[in-house]
Structure formats: structure tokens, C-alpha cells
């Protein structure tokens, strides 16, 4: 079975790899997971993680209500909230060894981790080595009462980014460019959080702030042209990809702050309407004229703001 995997992991890897084989089980096969009752979407979880599954399900359901109201669309989705010993049975094969990497397996099934893990911890530098203002942000966003840190608040939000790819794929939007495919789901995520759960904004914004605040000296690729060219094979490498995703998270924030909630729906409508091929210039002009200048500025001003 051929499947497309959406990974995003805002700071890490790619979204659009195709794999020749996917050994993930389907919902019709027997498996040792429990299913939550009382939600419109389907949520499976490893036994012992019901409380966490409910927390995630409530977040995703509330977002689903918001997107149904704004976009008048709800995709089919099945979320798998997995303990480490179940990860390989359900995650897409290329990610079997990366517990914690949220990914959209086939535009319907979404795998996320139930527990904190080394993969999430690997993103957090020693907090005492950060600049004081950044250390303060990181502590506010990811600090725990016992003095330790967890990236769980950030990675949980990325589950919604991944679900966003199910929206655009199942509604058959034409994303036109790889950068727009990623930007749009970041706009969905930022718009929902800002509108409905602004207390989560620190968790969403701190990681990109930290990456972009470090400058571009250590990144070989920073142009939008290179992103388009290298995206299909992750040719820029995982860390450089993380920088690009940070730019696209930051752009989503700027777009929301400039144009408000309605930009998301206008962009959705435009991407559904414009199925025709467009040059970069035509695409940017359409975004400026039919959506909002701030969206076109991602293209026009990319190299001026890094
Ligand atoms: Zn993505």
C-alpha cells in the first residue's frame, strides 16, 4: 500500500514524504488499544493513558468545532495516542524508531505519543545557557512545578498542525507551493490557539522564537526557492528544516496579528477556488488581492526578514 506521510514536527522534519510500504495497522484490524467514547472523531489510546487521551481529545474536538464553523468542513480522522511499546505497531514504518514524532499517516490516521520522551527532550537546550529573556520564556512555556522541563505542551499543539493536513487534503485544496502547504496549517493552528485558547500561545510561540533568535549563521539554506527545491527529499536536513518551519510559524503569527481570524477562511476559499497552475508572481498577486497582503508578504519579503 502506498501512503503519504505528513510529519511536521514544526521544528524538525518534513511533511510530504511518500513511502512504498506502510505497515501501520488499520482501524479494522484487532489491536490492543482502547477507544474513547463520546467524541465525534475517533480516538484510540494505549491502556493506562485514558486521562491524557481525554485531554488531547477535548483539545482536538474544540478545534474541530471552531474549524467547522469557520471553514465549514470536518475531515475524517482517527487519532492514535500511543505508549512506547505500541508505537511500532501503529506508527508509519519510517518513524518506527522515532517515538514521539507526531505524524499524519495517510490523511486520516494520526499518530501521537502518550508520554514524554527523549525525542522531545532533544529539542531543549540547557536553559541556563539561554539569554535571560529567552530562559524566562522557556520556563513559562515548558517549565514544570518540580523544576524540570517538558516539550509536551509544544508537541501536543503540533498534533493540530498534522490534522490540518487532513483538512487541506480531504477538502482537495490546491496548496500550489510546498511553503503554502506548511504555512496554511500553521495559520490554522495559530488562529485556533489565539482565538480560543490564548493561554497556549507561549507554548506555541516560544520554540520558533528560540530558533529564529539564534540567527541564520549555522544554516546553509534560508531562501524560499531552496525550500521549494529541497522539501520533497528533506534535502536541507532536519535542523535546517526546523529553521524553515520556525519561519513559517512566525509568519502565521504575523498574518494573524495583521489580518485577524478571517484570513484563514479567505485563504482556504482562495486555495479551493484556484486549482489552476500559477507562476510565483501570479500566486503572490492572487494572495495579495484576494486574501490579505500579509500572506503575499511571506513570498515578497521572505529574504528581507531573516
Ligand atoms: Zn506539516
- Does pLDDT of 15 surpass 50? no
Taking the domains of the chain in order of start, what are their residue ranges?
3-256
Q: What is the CA(167)–ligand 1 centre distance, in A?
A: 12
Q: Tell me: the pLDDT tens digits for 39-90?
A: 999 999 999 999 999 999 999 999 999 999 999 999 999 999 999 999 999 9
Q: What is the CA(4)–ligand 1 centre distance, in A?
A: 12
* Banded pLDDT at 113 (limits 50, 70, 90): very high
Q: What is the CA(128)–ligand 1 centre distance, in A?
A: 31
* Banded pLDDT at 102 (limits 50, 70, 90): confident
What integer best gives the mean pLDDT of the chain? Answer: 87
Q: What is the CA(193)–ligand 1 centre distance, in A?
A: 17
Task: Give the model's pLDDT for residue 144.
Answer: 94
The CATH T-level fold of domain 3-256 is Neutral Protease; domain 2 (1.10.390)
* HEC sequence for the chain: CCEEEEECCCCCCCCCEEECCCCCCCCCCCCCCEECCCCCCEEEECCCCHHHHHHHHHHHHHHHHHHHHHHCCCCCCEEEEECHHHHHHHCCHHHCCCCCCCEECCCCEEEEECCCCHHHHCCCCCHHHCCHHHHHHHHHHHECCCCCECCHHHHHHHHHHHHHHHHHHHCCCCCCCHHHHHHHHHHHHHHHHHHHCHHHHHHHHHHHHHHHHCCCCCCCCCCHHHHHHHHHHCCCCHHHHHHHHHHHHHHHHHHHHHHCCHHHHHHHHHHHHCCCCCCHHHHHHHHHHHHCHHHHHHHHCHHHHC
Q: What is the CA(132)–ligand 1 centre distance, in A?
A: 31
For range 273-290, the mean pLDDT: 98
Q: What is the CA(142)–ligand 1 centre distance, in A?
A: 22
Q: What is the CA(18)–ligand 1 centre distance, in A?
A: 14
For range 233-247, the mean pLDDT: 84
Q: What is the CA(164)–ligand 1 centre distance, in A?
A: 8
Task: Give the model's pLDDT for residue 31.
Answer: 66
Q: What is the CA(145)–ligand 1 centre distance, in A?
A: 31
Task: Give the model's pLDDT for residue 291.
Answer: 98
For range 282-294, the mean pLDDT: 98
Amino acid at each position: 500500500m502506498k501512503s503519504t506521510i505528513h510529519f511536521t514536527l514544526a521544528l524538525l522534519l518534513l511533511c510530504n514524504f511518500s513511502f512504498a510500504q506502510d505497515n501501520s495497522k488499520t482501524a479494522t484490524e484487532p489491536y490492543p488499544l482502547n477507544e474513547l467514547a463520546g467524541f465525534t472523531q475517533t480516538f484510540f489510546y494505549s491502556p493506562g493513558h485514558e486521562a491524557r487521551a481525554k485531554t488531547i481529545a477535548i483539545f482536538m474536538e474544540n478545534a474541530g468545532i471552531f474549524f467547522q464553523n469557520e471553514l465549514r468542513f470536518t475531515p475524517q480522522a482517527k487519532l492514535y495516542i500511543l505508549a512506547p511499546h505500541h508505537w511500532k505497531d501503529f506508527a508509519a514504518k519510517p518513524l518506527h524508531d522515532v517515538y514521539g514524532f507526531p505524524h499524519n499517516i495517510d490523511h486520516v490516521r494520526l499518530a501521537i505519543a502518550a508520554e514524554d520522551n527523549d525525542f522531545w527532550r532533544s529539542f531543549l537546550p540547557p536553559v541556563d545557557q539561554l539569554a535571560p529573556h529567552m530562559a524566562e520564556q522557556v520556563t513559562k512555556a515548558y517549565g514544570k512545578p518540580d523544576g524540570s522541563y517538558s516539550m509536551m505542551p509544544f508537541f501536543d499543539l503540533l498534533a493540530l498542525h498534522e490534522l490540518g493536513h487532513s483538512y487541506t487534503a480531504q477538502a482537495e485544496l490546491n496548496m500550489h507551493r510546498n511553503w503554502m502547504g506548511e504555512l496554511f496549517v500553521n495559520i490554522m493552528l495559530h488562529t485556533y490557539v489565539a482565538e480560543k485558547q490564548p493561554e497556549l500561545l507561549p507554548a506555541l510561540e516560544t520554540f520558533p522564537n528560540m530558533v529564529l533568535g539564534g540567527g541564520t549563521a549555522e544554516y546553509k539554506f534560508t531562501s524560499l526557492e531552496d525550500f521549494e527545491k529541497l522539501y520533497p527529499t528533506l534535502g536541507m536536513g532536519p535542523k535546517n528544516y526546523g529553521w524553515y518551519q520556525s519561519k513559517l510559524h512566525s509568519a502565521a503569527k504575523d498574518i494573524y496579528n495583521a489580518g485577524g481570524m478571517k484570513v484563514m477562511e479567505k485563504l482556504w476559499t482562495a486555495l479551493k477556488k484556484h486549482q489552476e497552475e500559477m507562476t510565483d508572481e501570479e500566486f503572490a498577486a492572487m494572495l495579495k488581492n484576494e486574501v490579505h497582503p500579509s500572506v503575499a508578504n511571506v513570498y515578497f519579503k521572505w529574504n528581507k526578514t531573516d
